Amino acid sequence: MEESKREYFRQKLLKMRAELIEALNKKYNEAIDLGNDGIQDSADEAYNIYNKNIMLGKVETDALKLQLVEQALRRIQNDTYGVCIECEEEINEKRLEYVPFARYCTDCKSELERRGVIKM
């Protein structure tokens, strides 16, 4: 991959990382604060616990995405960005545009998902 494209994706990933960190902090704080606004009956408490679990699940999903972004940034530093970690072929730039932290080419990702090896 040429240097200008690599820099483009690096900037895109850095922006994505900043947005994910901001979203993680916001969602985590909202989950922690949920139900701390006064006296609750048992129905309110159950509802708040349910919502807190949903919000924490979203935090977990964003944390996983953040890890993938960090890995992609390391691959840029190691000059292995844009190369499938399964078959070592180049990942299509259209795929990287849509999923800049992609680790697999479309064919390998589809095959690994079919076999149940990966989900994200």
Q: Which residue has the tokens 């849509």?
A: 98
For the chain, the 3-state helix, strand and coil shares in percent, each to the nearest 5, are 70, 0, 30
Please compute the mean of the pLDDT values over residues 27-35 and round it to a whole number.
76
* CATH of region 3-114, choose from 1.10.3720.10, 3.20.20.70, 1.20.120.910, 3.40.190.170: 1.20.120.910
Judge residue 2's burial from the number of C-beta atoms within 10 Å of its C-beta, 0-12 exposed, 13-18 middle, 19 or more buried: exposed
Round to whole Å and give the CA distance between 22 and 101.
18
Confidence of residue 80 (pLDDT cuts 50, 70, 90): very high
Confidence category of residue 22, pLDDT binned at 50, 70, 90: very high
Question: What distance in Å separates the CA atoms of residue 39 and residue 41, rounded to the nearest whole number?
Answer: 7
What pLDDT, on a 0 to 100 scale, did the predictor assign at position 1? 81
Domain boundaries, given as residue ranges, for the chain: 3-114
pTM of the model: 0.79
> Tell me: the pLDDT tens digits for 37-73?
666 677 777 877 787 778 778 888 899 999 999 999 9
